[in-house]
Structure 1
Amino acid sequence: MAQLAYLHEGVEPVRTEGDAVFALTLSLFGEDQRRISHLAEDARAAGLAVGKPRPLESLLEGSGGVLGDVVVADCPQIDAGKLAALIRLDERVARAGARLIVATSADALDDVFGCLERSRPQILIGAQRAEGLVAMGAALAQLPGRRLREDDGEERMLLLRLTEQVVRIAEKLDRLAPGADGGALRAPDRPFRPAEEDREFLRRPRPPLPDPRLIKQIVRDRRLRSKYFAEELFADPAWDILLDLTMARAEHRRVSVSSLCIAAGVPPTTALRWVAQMVESGLLERMQDQEDKRRAFIALSDRSADAMARYFAEIKSSRASPI
């Protein structure tokens, strides 16, 4: 069975099978030459062998060619052909055990997200180079065969926050030295997933969810801080996401992923990274639209709804102020 290894520190990642050694490969799909060129350069800097870029629609023509270990699709705009191609790509990546990165725009996010149900992709908004590098590092760390220590939930959440810091630092460096090569920056070599905790619901009846008007007031109060302080000082996307989805559940409405990114109060790619980790950890659930299979929504899991209801009930009983 093929496994991944490193020949030595600083040398490109390789796949080994017996005595044979193979470089890990990257498949590129897209048509914007400038963006594709940057993605290819960054992939080579990460040690990947890059194949010839192909249009996304080529996936609909016969077999569409062999996929690499990592697949990157640049899809800033969406139409019927690209939607069909993304659905096909999602299925093929999932079957192959590859890792998928999709760069898109805020306008196309809901359609793109709805198409990608099986492959657990990383979705980038705006495709900033620093975020692409972080995504590439995460994809390499998640490939089958990598022997990574199973960190506990606290350590994984810390790694997720460190990833955000890597992106911020890289963006500042880009502004200070626009001509500098971003390829030297590398992401932490670990998957950014909070551990799933199997906790049974408490046997006593669950209290009702809080009044949505109370949550709206909490959100307004939290946003008010940015009037006087830098927004990054209080960034807490996980809690903002939980608050927004608690309010939506109490109001019996569905929440799109693009709406949730706005509620998170951080850049869209960062918000998507948090949503993905929270879905994987069981805090959130992806809900496919039964009337339109190309659409998907995000909701609290029953476990999270239980926890949020109990949190607000305890706050109310102790007469404390929610934060």
Structure 2
Amino acid sequence: MSRVTHRADILSETDFQYQATELTRDAANDPAGVPLAVSIFADRSHIRDTIRDDALAAGFRLGKVGDIAELLDGAAIALGDAVLIDCPVVDAAILASLCRLDNRAVNTGAKLVVSTSVEALDDVFACLDKSDPQLLVEPARGERVIALGRVLAMMPGMRLRELSGDDRLTLIRLTEQVAQIADRLERMGAKGQADDGGAFRFESSKQAFAGQGAEDGTAQLIRKPKPPLPDPRLVRQIIRQREARATFFDAELFADPAWDILLDLTAARAEHARVSVTSLCIASGVPPTTALRWISQMVEAGLLERVKDEEDKRRAFIALSDRAAEAMGRYFAEIGTDAARLV
């Protein structure tokens, strides 16, 4: 059964609207009981109205609501605890405003939720490099409401943290592959690695120790030399093999975005190529908003790095971290070339 079918079995869109609002209605208050304020900026009036209605239903207090021009013009205004922006089309003025808003969010603690289009994603992504925003790509209404719930979860001292595990799971499981994400997040430590190695492990699969102890009588750990990255032609062949499955089966049956992202970036690193966030979303094999969540989590876990374009500060790329590159090299060295062809 595909994940799409499974998700539909869990909750319908109508059920989602009701349950998500019920779970957040009493939670959208600060520790003093004051409703959190949200500002909304969107040029598409129907999108702006929908976001406003959902924010009110979730218990938020409305701050500034208007089109993008109101965010760009005039003196700085109080934006509240969260800012929701819809900008499917961007120009130089909007991008400059996003950069300014990114800095303001860092200084004030406001949470940003920015929806955009695939065409504008690279530009928007490059502008928002400090505030850790939620980026949504052509989202459905349900995805926007889930983003509101995630805003609440990120607020310090919020009563949403007192919801039962079942209530939290109801919100979480509505996002693509979030069951796997939630399972890994629960096992991850603060730095993306749990006591047992966590969801993302960077160590070699086998460690060697010196036969004799050191002068203080303790054994010495001998770290194996770093293996080279695999031949990028091999990695590209593996990627093509994985993509070929969609010809015969539902592609979502085999969706494994974290691994597809790692494979694509491994090949790119070996080729000395740079990868844009849009290209990486395509390589992940899942919808862009889902891919962005994976990329964000993998950056936080230390697997990926955001890299500024030194020649054009308006652009940014995604690359493997040195630790992740070493782990991929060790992985391919461990399984061997023949086995790798079957990955």
Q: Which TM class, normalised by the smaller chain length?
A: 0.7 to 0.9
Alignment check: 8 A CA contact 2:25 2:57 kept = no
Read off the aligned partner of 2:119 and give its amino acid letter. D
Against the structure 1 CA distance between its residues 60 and 263, is the aligned structure 2 distance closer, same or farther, given a 3 Å change threshold?
same
Q: Deviations over 1:263-317 (max 9, x none)?
A: 0001111111111111111110001111221111000011110110000001117
> CA–CA distance in 1 between the matches of 2:241 and 2:255?
14
Aligned equivalent of 1:120 = 132
> CA–CA distance in 2 between the matches of 1:245 and 1:48?
40
Q: Deviations over 1:19-69 (max 9, x none)?
A: xx3101111112110111111111122211122413334344454210111
> CA–CA distance in 2 between the matches of 1:106 and 1:311?
33
Against the structure 1 CA distance between its residues 74 and 319, is the aligned structure 2 distance closer, same or farther, given a 3 Å change threshold?
closer
Structure 1 range deviating more: 238-247 or 131-140: 131-140
Q: Deviations over 1:110-141 (max 9, x none)?
A: 00000001110111111211111111111110
> CA–CA distance in 1 between the matches of 2:186 and 2:130?
18
Against the structure 1 CA distance between its residues 62 and 101, is the aligned structure 2 distance closer, same or farther, given a 3 Å change threshold?
same
Alignment check: 8 A CA contact 1:193 1:280 kept = no
SS of residue in 2 equivalent to 1:58: helix
Q: Are 2:285 and 1:271 equivalent residues in the alignment?
A: no
Aligned equivalent of 2:268 = 248
Structure 1 range deviating more: 306-315 or 122-131: 122-131
> CA–CA distance in 1 between the matches of 2:66 and 2:108?
19
Read off the aligned partner of 1:54 and give its amino acid letter. G
> CA–CA distance in 2 between the matches of 1:140 and 1:162?
16
> CA–CA distance in 2 between the matches of 1:144 and 1:205?
43
Aligned equivalent of 1:80 = 92
Against the structure 1 CA distance between its residues 310 and 14, is the aligned structure 2 distance closer, same or farther, given a 3 Å change threshold?
same
Against the structure 1 CA distance between its residues 193 and 249, is the aligned structure 2 distance closer, same or farther, given a 3 Å change threshold?
farther
Please give the residue correspondences for 1:62-211 in structure 2 after superposition, counting only pairs within 5 Å.
Answer: 62-146=74-158, 148=161, 163-164=175-176, 195=189, 196-197=192-193, 203-211=223-231
Aligned equivalent of 1:238 = 258
C-alpha displacement of 1:193: 10
Read off the aligned partner of 1:11 and give its amino acid letter. D
Alignment check: 8 A CA contact 1:284 1:301 kept = yes
SS of residue in 1 equivalent to 2:78: coil
Q: Which of 323, 326, 332 is residue 303 of structure 1 equivalent to?
A: 323
Q: Deviations over 1:228-253 (max 9, x none)?
A: 11111111000000000000000001
Q: Are 2:16 and 1:16 equivalent residues in the alignment?
A: no
Q: Which runs of 4+ in 1 moved over 6 A?
A: none
Aligned equivalent of 2:336 = 316
> CA–CA distance in 2 between the matches of 1:39 and 1:194?
32
> CA–CA distance in 1 between the matches of 2:24 and 2:78?
29
Read off the aligned partner of 1:273 and give its amino acid letter. R
Q: Deviations over 1:70-117 (max 9, x none)?
A: 110111101011011100111111111121100100000000000001
C-alpha displacement of 1:161: 6.5
Structure 1 range deviating more: 194-203 or 270-279: 194-203
> CA–CA distance in 2 between the matches of 1:193 and 1:287?
28
Q: Which of 26, 41, 45 is residue 33 of structure 1 equivalent to?
A: 45
Aligned equivalent of 2:56 = 44
Which runs of 5 or more structure 2 residues have no equivalent in the other structure?
A: 1-22, 163-167, 195-200, 205-222
Read off the aligned partner of 2:102 and give its amino acid letter. D
Alignment check: 8 A CA contact 2:284 2:291 kept = yes
SS of residue in 1 equivalent to 2:132: coil
Alignment check: 8 A CA contact 1:12 1:48 kept = no
How high is the sequence identity, in percent, across the aligned residues? 54
Aligned equivalent of 1:56 = 68
Q: Which of 208, 218, 223 is residue 243 of structure 2 equivalent to?
A: 223
In the superposition, the TM-score normalised over structure 1's length comes to 0.80
> CA–CA distance in 2 between the matches of 1:285 and 1:297?
8
Structure 1 range deviating more: 243-252 or 138-147: 138-147
Which runs of 5 or more structure 1 residues have no equivalent in the other structure?
A: 1-7, 150-155, 168-187
Compute the RMSD of aligned alpha carbons: 2.9
Alignment check: 8 A CA contact 2:24 2:149 kept = no
